[in-house]
Chain A
Amino acid sequence: AQQKVRMGVSIPAATHGWAGGLNWHAQQAEKQLEKQYPNLDIRIATAKDAAGQANDLEDLVSVHNIDALVILPFESAPLTDPVREVKNKGKFVTVVDRGLTDPSIQNVYVAGNNPQMGKVSAQYMKQKLNNKGNIVVLRGIPTVIDNQRVDAFMEEIKGTDIKVLGMQYANWNRDDGFKVMQDFLARFPKIDAVWAQDDDIALGVIEAVKQAGREKELFIIGGAGMKDMIKRVMDRDVLVPADVLYPPGMIADAMQITAKHLIEKTPVQKEYVIEATLVTPENASKYYYPDSPF
């Protein structure tokens, strides 16, 4: 008789676009993996904040008695200890995207590379602007990831003549992207480029720019790899010449790796890095998934 193998997946709830994609991919992977491995039982828990995620971890361990945990932490620092608790109970731990402050806890790290994402965006911008121009930056929400992206971006454009005219939070939200961009457009008569950092924000920005009729003046770089944006890049939209990948699908990869290890006992690497790839019209079709909700 086969013993059921239980895998717990703890991720943030679908409270913004990227997290929505995360949820979708996690659920797809759940279905697919449970079919693939009949004795695998996957349990997904979604949390609204760090404390809620810590609660979920407790429940996954004490109630579901999981054998392995795949977690995409809300934030690194606060979840380090709760994950350590899980680890101390002898569970296999896979951490996704955001590294814990104590890397010794995790068995596997599927790393998203936030600094790289900022850096890649900045490099593209430098090249496209010839190291010179006025840009505005729309940030996500105040959190470590956002800081890493922005810090790396600013580091990369240091020493160039690229000037950041304004920077505001747009909360990884289309409506806020629209509003903030409207105001930036009113405030600055000449903007050469927008770094929106996130595709949801970028979609809001596009509408604001169109409304102001200033499509000719600037271009926009988003991030994540949302299908709408990839499509625009693919279609050679001058407003959106490129995008930087930060695929929410990384959760599925992590689940896949973990499941495979649990059931087939395949060895695992310590770290898998998901690259922040630059998407251009040339390679866009490779990253276009029309069926994904994200």
Chain B
Amino acid sequence: MAEPILSAQGVSKVFGAVQVLFGIDFELRPGEVHAVVGENGAGKSTFMKILAGYLPATGGTVRVNGREVPSEGPGAREALGIVLIHQEFNLAEDLTVEENVFLGRELRRGPFVDRSAMRARCRAVLDELNCHVNPASRVRDLSVSDKQMVEIAKAISRDVRVLVMDEPTAVLTGAETAVLFRLIRKLKAQGVAVVYISHKLDEVKEISDRVTVLRDGRLIATQPVGELTQDAIAQLMVGRAITDLYPVKAPPPPDAPVLLEVRGLSVLGWVRDASFALRRGEILGFSGLVGAGRTELMEGLLGLRRSTGTVLRNGRPVPIRSLEDATAAGIGYLTEDRKGKGLLLRQGMRQNLTLLALPRFGGVLIDEAKERAALDRAVVDFDIRARDMDVPVGALSGGNQQKLLLAKTMQIEPEILIADEPTRGIDVGTKRQIYHFLHDFARQGKAVILISSEMPEVIGLAHRVVVMRSGVVTGTLEGAAIEEAEIVRYATGLKGMPSHDAVVNA
């Protein structure tokens, strides 16, 4: 067995008064893909930051090639070839893609940076990732998935010997994930060790050699992946078996009233002439490849983007010019961009939770007691795990931020919930809770629009599925027709409207 390239002995970590890691032992061999799994808040990201030198450990040691290395900032570890792709984007938004990819180790010619060389190399790396962003675009203008690809490009453009990826696929779709896996296999063949964190256990099964499970900051097990089924991994993570991940579908009766109808909605440059209807008790899935324009369609509908078309609520046209109008119409929106549009990372949980629904918390003065009560309730309802209720939201684990975001949206008690990638970065156990939550929500005579890039999620939950391609609705599937191959056919243009009608050819 090869010598471990990176190892940790008894690593522990304390934030303020709370301990989040307890004596973790870990080792990583060259050429292996080592998955790290655990519930939200288990301490995975924290542990990875310690391995990569971004955070100092409170106790224990980290060794590289058998030698103990003190933590002296990320630069030192990176020089040893240890590169971390953060769960939360770690890009300077005002800089261009190319500037970000080479930040801190620019190529130079004489005293000047060699822009053409960097642009070319950046282009090459992005091409390798099948990513089509322009190296000269500002990161601020990119979609979340593109940002993630840029993060990956940034990492692999370095001299990497250990690549730590913290939920790289949370914001990627199937195709992009496939590209990433191809890349991982290539790196693996070159002897690079990969640490792979994901809540998508099928991916873990597919790509990794060994898996380490953390729970509540403690090491539970490290085992070869071949020895474990997905269920077994889930059980190790959660401490109990996960059954019936998806609730049994309960489609609304065919004569259920239409709560929301959209007719001929267009968003310039993104969506053209989209129409659909949502009935009481229904979960309506939206499927499509990245860039299909699902997010833009919803944002157009909600008044967050300029759009044309008609929106009918309970059969009556309602003008929705701003999110406030949408809120008044009983529509709640869960954004896919948690960090950029969803949460104020420097503020507390309470302030974030009630921000959207603030008019409901008191009249002239905000009723803080009511807010606190709402937070206490949300923490229970959505299983938000924060070890300290007063930390800024930015210090919550990624999954718990996502749960808080869902809770925030629910504060307005919407009748219609538009959930864009609701389970992004959520562990299996909690996913199940969210699925059941959405199911129950619809069962109570409300309705859900579910946008998801995870095919099983759409198939497992939705009563009908609208498929979009390049800004155009290409089909609506129902009942038994909701299955992967059929969705893909519509999403890729094999079925449905001819592609020259599309707003954009993807």
Instruction: Answer whether A and B touch in the complex at a CB cut-off of 8 Å.
Output: no
Interface residues of A (CB under 8 A from B): none
